[in-house]
Chains A and B, each alone.
Chain A
Amino acid sequence: GIQVEQSPPDLILQEGANSTLRCNFSDSVNNLQWFHQNPWGQLINLFYIPSGTKQNGRLSATTVATERYSLLYISSSQTTDSGVYFCAVERNYGGSQGNLIFGKGTKLSVKP
């Protein structure tokens, strides 16, 4: 099956620093999403980005589908950015969906 690898596994930042999280995937995908899981377990959808670049405030993401990777940029980090960031990809089952394959995540800790 498809493999999703995220790096780094852990990241500690000082508040205000910038960071780049990477997601590599082993096969062609039709869908890629980035999530942030907060300390209470809630998964928040950050980006739906199968290709191209998107920005939302201090966060931006770029997916290069032909090279099978995606990057999540966090600028001017805040303590509320702490949590685990997941990359998830989806294969097309001919109409079925919802079967996201998740990476192991990057655990981010932002220190004040």
Chain B
Amino acid sequence: KAGVTQTPRYLIKTRGQQVTLSCSPISGHRSVSWYQQTPGQGLQFLFEYFSETQRNKGNFPGRFSGRQFSNSRSEMNVSTLELGDSALYLCASSPGTAINEKLFFGSGTQLSVL
């Protein structure tokens, strides 16, 4: 079974631009969640989607948004990029049908904002 796939692996953008990151979950998984990892703040939860609906959201500004498609693939978008948005963005998937489940992470997208 293929794992969680994130694209692209690396991305370089400049301040003010916007960016879209993609995540394909493990086949059969319907829950996709996104995390931001920085050296200063560590790993922080962004949002979680299940069956195309956002079920949970972390404490990030509205510039961070996401969506999920009917095939469970998910995208996250960051508009008006700031230097502080430079981070490793990680996507995780799980079946989504139980309250507590094991999460499986992708390799991440390393975003650099110049």
User: Would you list which residues of chain A between 31 and 89 have a CB under 8 Å from chain B?
Assistant: 31, 33, 35, 40-45, 48, 50, 86, 88
Q: A98-B92, A98-B94, A100-B103 known; A41 and B108 CB under 8 Å?
A: yes
User: Are B33's CB and A41's CB within 8 A?
Assistant: no
A50 vs B99: C-alpha distance when bound (angstroms): 12
Interface size class, chain B: 20 to 34
Complex contact B103–A45 (CB within 8 A): yes
Contact B100 A98 (CB under 8 A): no
Interface of B is mostly: strand
User: Given A45-B105, A105-B42, is A97 in contact with B110 using a C-beta cutoff of 8 Å?
Assistant: no
Q: CB of A30 within 8 A of chain B?
A: yes
Cα A103 to Cα B105 in complex, Å, equals: 16
Residues of chain A lying within 8 A (CB to CB) of residue B33: 97-100
A50 touches B42 (CB 8 A): no
CB distance from A10 to the nearest CB of B (A): 14
B residues at A contact (CB < 8 Å): 31-33, 35, 37, 42-45, 48, 50, 55-56, 58, 88, 90, 92, 94, 96, 98-108, 110
- What are some 8 contacts across the A-B interface (CB < 8 A)? A33-B103, A41-B37, A41-B108, A88-B43, A96-B48, A98-B56, A98-B103, A100-B103
Residues B94 and A97 in contact, CB atoms below 8 Å apart: yes
What separation, in Å, do the CA atoms of A16 and B22 have in the docked complex? 40
A102 touches B42 (CB 8 A): yes
Interface centre among A102, A103, A104 (most CB of B within 10 A): A102
Residues of A within 8 A of B58 (CB): 99
* Chain A hits for B56, CB < 8 A: 93, 96-99
B56, B98, B99, B101 interface centre (most CB from chain A within 10 Å)? B99
Residues of chain A lying within 8 A (CB to CB) of residue B108: 41-42
- Expressed in whole angstroms, the minimum distance between the Cβ of B82 and any Cβ of chain A is 22
Q: Which residues of A contact B90 (CB under 8 A)?
A: 41, 43
